[in-house]
Structure 1
Amino acid sequence: MQHFPGRCRVRKIGWRLVSRGFTEKELIETLLAGYRSAAPLLGPGDDAGMLSVPDGRLVTTVDTITEDQDFRRVWPCGYRTTGYDVGWKSVAQNLSDINAMGARPTGIVTSLSLPAEIDLGWVASFAAGVSDSIEQLGAHDCAIIGGDVGRGREISVTTTAFGSLDGGEPVLRSGARPGDILAVCGVLGQAAAGVDVLEQATSRSEIQTMPVGDFPSEWPEDVRSAVLGQLRPRPRIGAGAVARASGAHAMLDLSDGLVRDAERIADASGVSIRLESASLEHELRKLHEAAGSTGVDPWKWVLTGGEGFALFAAFDADADLPEDWCFVGRAEPGEAEVRIDERFARDWLAENIGQASSGWDPFR
């Protein structure tokens, strides 16, 4: 990985990137002018950067978002994704993974690939989204230490994040025990509802006249909130470290849906998980308008919708849950499986919402 300065390993004309009239140097300068974060020991400017690791251990994760896989440049509803949206989400989903280990985010590096038609205004917007995501999500110790730029057929961003456990132990997926209570911190289903709203078709003339980054004027406020939950998710950074300090035995973030991610806890921990539908019904009310506008059963979003990056964790049976955590079920002895009430989850989903899939899988 390059640390911004240096040659770009893509097709060039001389040293000039095939682009809308800007050079690699101008692209990097635009990014660096827009980035704001905590100060690293050594930031962009050399072949690599440096972070302090006082704990002696480094928590790390990497994730990629790619056009037409994780977002559309122009959605069927007419909304045009901004650089700000892409920058925000690329950081938020990685900070969420650090959070889910019970760690504190300390740094990121970002590799940005762009098609030729993207201009520097989009790049500046991307940098603002990266910076605002770090700041507004509360990752105040997280430093931008560099990255890479290149050319591609579509917009693609790969972000690597680093974190510190500050002397504690990581919270793994494998620590749930029979008798534990299961709880979530964050909003369930909102980001998935946002996808279904964005995927609603709008006439071509309306798309052409809609300003970049604007929503259709007829959308109710909670529909807009659902869409923003997809475009600019807000994981509760810091809640993972609080859960670790409160004795969480197992934890992950809900990137692929509550049922699918509960299956991962069940498999790793060797327990049976029972989700209680009555404890999840309050999430449905937050999705009433989105459900009405799309005709989708909100249970689908709450149980199988991903990308909201809420935390899901197991605690002692008699634990006082930390603030903003809500009970959703229990871990029980038995084979690694997930039930909703007394039914196998896949049977419940098939019967109640006509869906056999338990969540998102990018290869299906």
Structure 2
Amino acid sequence: MHINAWADLTCPWCCLGRHRLQRALELWEADGRERPEVIWHPYQVDPMAPRIAVPRDEEAARRREELHSAETRAAFLAELAEAEGPGFAWRPRWRVSTFDAHRLEALARRHGGNALQDAVKSELLRAHFVRGENLGDHAVLAAAAEAAGFRHAREALATGEGGAQVRAESARGATVGVTAVPTFVVGRRALAGAQDPEAILDFLRQAADDRRSDPPGDGAQPLGTVQAPDPVSAYREAGRLLEAREPLEALRVLQPWSGEFGGDSAVLLLTARCYFASAQLGRAEEVLRRIVEANPTDDYARFMLGRCLQRQTRREEARVHLRIAVSLNPSPDYADALARVGG
């Protein structure tokens, strides 16, 4: 049996959820059952977080924490402290995109299977929450991966590998109805939230009973309907539609929020990708130039701008931006695009 789990790396409830899942699996094994393998999938709680880390806004963090009582937060930290042992401290310090950290998890699974992926996740959570490190820093990511036994992480990260996989798996989560994290999925059943180990164990037993009674086939069904009532949900839904090759529908979903959040780099980049995919190259170019003007070291925006100019047969201009993209990130995709314009 496999458990498909969607979680983020800067979400405290995902941190607790992984810990409780491990305890539930220990109880499962104590029943004499074979331990299920866990496959971790990406979910960005804050998809608009910057690629370059900024200090956490403590006031905003405090407002979010007020969703839970002081007693709940105290119990939460006490449980994690017990798991971490002496010297535990709670030190999340940075707001940063978790895209590259999710990319590292995907690479760990590709290179070493589910067990290595889980070990890397554990180290990344510890880096963010216990050591207060920046998960946008490739040196931090590589050190965490090496501590987990992933010896080639630094080289794999540098190539730009895994980005397409993260986008595809994020879209898959939206497709099956994952709207909160952590969410654990087995067959047709899903369990959302950092539930108690006993609740997770009961969920696994019910899923196992389903498997015994199901006819041949995977029996997979959508878990629910994805709604888009807020900008974060709209962003995720637009990303899913773009991956499903529906860029015009994705633009329609983004449009109500283009005024309030239209200056956000993540929203701009997604909008540009939708314009590019729908052959609105002039509009794509305009948005991409806004991004690189604000952040000249955004390698992916440079790459997209180069491709956009290439499709307009403006090879010399394309070559400039693609060369910059390759110098910032020696991704094979970037190098291939540069070669096509005679780089």
TM-score norm. by structure 2 comes to 0.26
TM-score norm. by structure 1 comes to 0.25
> Which of the pair is proportionally richer in strand?
1
Higher relative contact order (CA 8 A, sep 6+): 1
